[in-house]
């Protein structure tokens, strides 16, 4: 007997941030409500949406932006919103945990329950993206979360460049991958535009794992005072939703606020994933080289 269709509507939000928490959280709530009105069940807000992307600078005072996970006011507000609308909302935030700090995300289910925490695993360090100054490497490992609508994998920004992360989540049963993001221009090189590269890498994750993928990025120009003068990044948006063969099914531009939505039949995709054979024909015993940094001294 054939099973019934199990359909889910996902959404990616895109907006320009101010450096005022209350303004940004209000914008996020407005867009979540609008996405819900379009039928969305799982709604992704961009990375660190409470304020400017502060990692352009190495400043001690910016540690004041971090808050503990438990009792976090934005998470609590999104829990109330998720429960009121019956939607799932991953909530990105700057986490303080005693003397450690993480780039984290809490997964809020459709009844308002907090399903748990993922802490960003891969921490970048380059001009304009100096995250190692603020964030410890995440210690949660890659996780999946059983929500009302689907089992989802959620990773954060720089994680999206690593195929191992996507595969790890899908191996654990993730049916959809979500990547909140903050990426744009490179302060040290005006001619470097990573947007198309950024998209193609994640389209590859979707296609290689035969799952839909949702990426949410911010827009707008943000200027941060650094120890060497002002630094500016123009965030290039281009948030998108990819289908299970990597095809783009919804896309934003680089300037406008956006609410993207797409519907997927998860049972149909599951059958396609199983029949395509990429998980049947895996050879984990041959992949031990992935446990090394330089490809040598492979453990046996």
The residues annotated as belonging to the active site are 47, 120, 157
Residue 143 CA to its chain's centroid (Å) = 13
Rounded to whole angstroms, the Cα distance separating 89 from 79 reads 8
CA 116 vs CA 2, 28, 105, 180, 188: distances in Å: 33, 21, 8, 16, 37
| 258-265/7-14 β-pairing | antiparallel
Are 11 and 44 contacting, i.e. CB atoms less than 8 angstroms apart?
yes
3-state class (DSSP) for residue 274:
helix
Crossing angle of helices 163-171 and 195-209, in 10° steps, is 30
Rounded to whole angstroms, the Cα distance separating 162 from 108 reads 25
Q: Where are the alpha helices (DSSP H) in the chain?
A: 21-37, 73-85, 163-171, 195-209, 266-276
3-state class (DSSP) for residue 146:
strand
CA 39 vs CA 45, 146, 162, 180: distances in Å: 16, 20, 31, 20
Rounded to whole angstroms, the Cα distance separating 229 from 227 reads 6
Residue 138 DSSP class: P
Rounded to whole angstroms, the Cα distance separating 180 from 29 reads 16
CA 13 vs CA 139, 187, 282: distances in Å: 27, 25, 35
Rounded to whole angstroms, the Cα distance separating 242 from 45 reads 16
Rounded to whole angstroms, the Cα distance separating 131 from 230 reads 17
């Amino acid at each position: 007997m054939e099973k019934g269709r199990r359909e889910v509507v996902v959404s990616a939000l895109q907006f320009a941030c101010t450096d005022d928490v209350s303004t940004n959280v209000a914008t996020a709530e407005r867009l979540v409500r609008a996405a819900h009105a379009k039928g969305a069940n799982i709604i992704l807000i961009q990375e660190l949406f409470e304020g400017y992307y502060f990692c352009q600078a190495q400043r001690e005072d910016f540690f004041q932006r971090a808050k503990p996970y438990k009792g976090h006011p934005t998470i609590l507000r999104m829990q109330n919103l998720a429960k009121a609308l019956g939607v799932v909302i991953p909530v990105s935030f700057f986490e303080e945990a005693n003397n450690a700090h993480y780039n984290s995300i809490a997964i809020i289910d459709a009844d308002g329950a907090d399903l748990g925490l993922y802490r960003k695993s891969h921490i970048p360090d380059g001009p304009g993206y100096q995250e190692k100054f603020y964030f410890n490497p995440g210690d949660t490992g890659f996780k999946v979360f059983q929500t009302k609508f689907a089992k989802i994998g959620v990773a954060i920004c720089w994680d999206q460049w690593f195929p191992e992360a996507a595969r790890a989540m899908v191996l654990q049963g993730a049916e959809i991958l979500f990547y909140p993001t903050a990426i744009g221009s490179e302060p040290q090189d005006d001619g470097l535009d990573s947007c198309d590269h950024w998209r193609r890498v994640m389209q590859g994750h979707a296609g290689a794992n035969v799952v839909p993928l949702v990426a949410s990025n911010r827009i707008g120009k943000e200027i941060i005072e650094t120890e060497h003068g002002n630094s500016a990044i123009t965030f290039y948006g281009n948030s998108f939703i990819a289908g299970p063969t990597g095809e783009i099914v919804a896309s934003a531009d680089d300037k406008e606020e956006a609410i993207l939505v797409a519907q997927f039949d998860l049972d149909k995709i599951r059958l396609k994933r199983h029949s395509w054979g990429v998980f049947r024909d895996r050879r984990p015993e041959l992949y031990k080289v992935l446990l090394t940094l330089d490809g040598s001294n492979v453990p046996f």
